[in-house]
Structure 1
Amino acid sequence: MVGFLAAPASAAPTDTTTVTFEVEVGTLDIDAPATADLGSGAPGSTITGQLGAVTVTDSRGAADASWVASVTASVFQTGGGTPAETVLPEEIDYWSGPATATTGTGTFTPGQVNAAAAEPLSSVTPVTAFTHTGGTGGNTATWNPTLIVNVPLDSIAGIYTGTVTHSVA
């Protein structure tokens, strides 16, 4: 009978693992409240109220992380939309005010630092709401803009509805 001796098991001195991961494309996003109620006022008065937090998030990781946030508005209407049943965007002033929070490097600049600098909105020409210049990598900015509705003298009673649109590029 011939015997076989089993060789002891041996471990390899090195071994490799293939590792994968994904780097997603960074984005430049803006988030604004879905609704806002500014209150009420009589014809010829002003109605002033804040929209709520608007936030730009820049995760592009760019060497130059500059961006401009802008704002436009639609016509605000109640009833059937006759002239007395509309408030034009140009009759609504916007001011961003200072940032309530920022992260990242660079310079964050409000489009309108206070009520004295408020600008009329437009349905065509965007108003600058906030800017970020310089800096690198990711950043965020949040502000709470104020709208001042200059209620036309010929306005009829009703709840007026329209949209304020923020965008960033």
Structure 2
Amino acid sequence: MRKPLLALVAGAAVLAVASPAAAAPSGDTVVTFTVSTANLDISVPASVNLGANFSGSTDSGQLGNVTVTDSRAALSATWVTTVSSTSFTTGGGTGPETILPNLVSYWSGPAVATTGTGTFVPGQPTAGSAVTLNVPRTAFSKTSGSGNNTATWNPTLIVTIPAGAVGGTYTGVITHSVA
């Protein structure tokens, strides 16, 4: 009788070792990752030539595409672009050689293209809303939304040439800034 009892005990031991452990019904793993961010940037045309015109008239033309690229991936991705002008000057002559910024007008026009979410607002949507650049003006803004975004517009510049302006090539700088 010892042999069957010993076989029974040995079999129970093998069965106890071979039984699976009780498993937990669920398990949590904490996962993290980073959404990379970059900068708020603006790109503008390097130069533009508005052509030629006579004293006492106006000269106008589009500057080319201005693009704000917001890669900050911000929860509140808003920004404002301002525009300003220097005086326009030409080399030696006997009459006025400077055209002041109060004779320089600007209008942004509508967006040419946008990406991302939110509200994009032109500073001067139509020619009738053109503003002089005797002080910095809002050119374009984004007033709501989140995440990365871009806006592109092609503004128009209008220069009133004084009647006494001397002949020559006038040069000035239009500056767009975004914050």
Which category of TM-score, normalised to the shorter sequence, fits these structures?
0.7 to 0.9
Residue 168 of structure 1, CA deviation: 0.2
- Residues 75 and 115 of structure 1, relative CA distance in 2, 3 Å threshold: same
User: What secondary structure does 1:116 align onto?
Assistant: helix
User: 3-state DSSP class of the match of 2:158?
Assistant: strand
Q: TM-score, normalised by structure 2?
A: 0.78
User: 1:151 matched to which residue of 2?
Assistant: 161
**Relative to structure 1, is the Cα distance of residues 140 and 81 closer, same or farther in structure 2, using a 3 angstrom cutoff?**
farther
Runs (4+) off by over 6 Å: none
Distance 1:78 1:49 in 2: 19
Structure showing greater radius of gyration is 2
- Structure 2 residue runs of 5 or longer lacking an equivalent are 1-32
Structure number having the greater helix percentage: 2
Aligned length: 147
State whether residues 44 and 64 of structure 2, in contact with CA within 8 Å, keep that contact through their aligned partners in structure 1.
yes
The CA RMSD over aligned residues, in Å, is: 1.7
Deviation at 1:80, TM superposition (A): 3.7
1:167 maps to what in 2? 177
TM-score relative to the length of structure 1: 0.82
Distance 1:144 1:82, change over 3 A: farther
Cα contact 2:37–2:73 (8 A) shared by 1? no
Establish whether residue 110 from structure 1 lines up as the match of residue 132 from structure 2: no
1:45-84 Cα offsets, whole Å, 9 max, x none, are 0111000000000000110000000101111100148760
Distance, in Å, in 1 between the alignment partners of 2:165 and 2:71 is 44
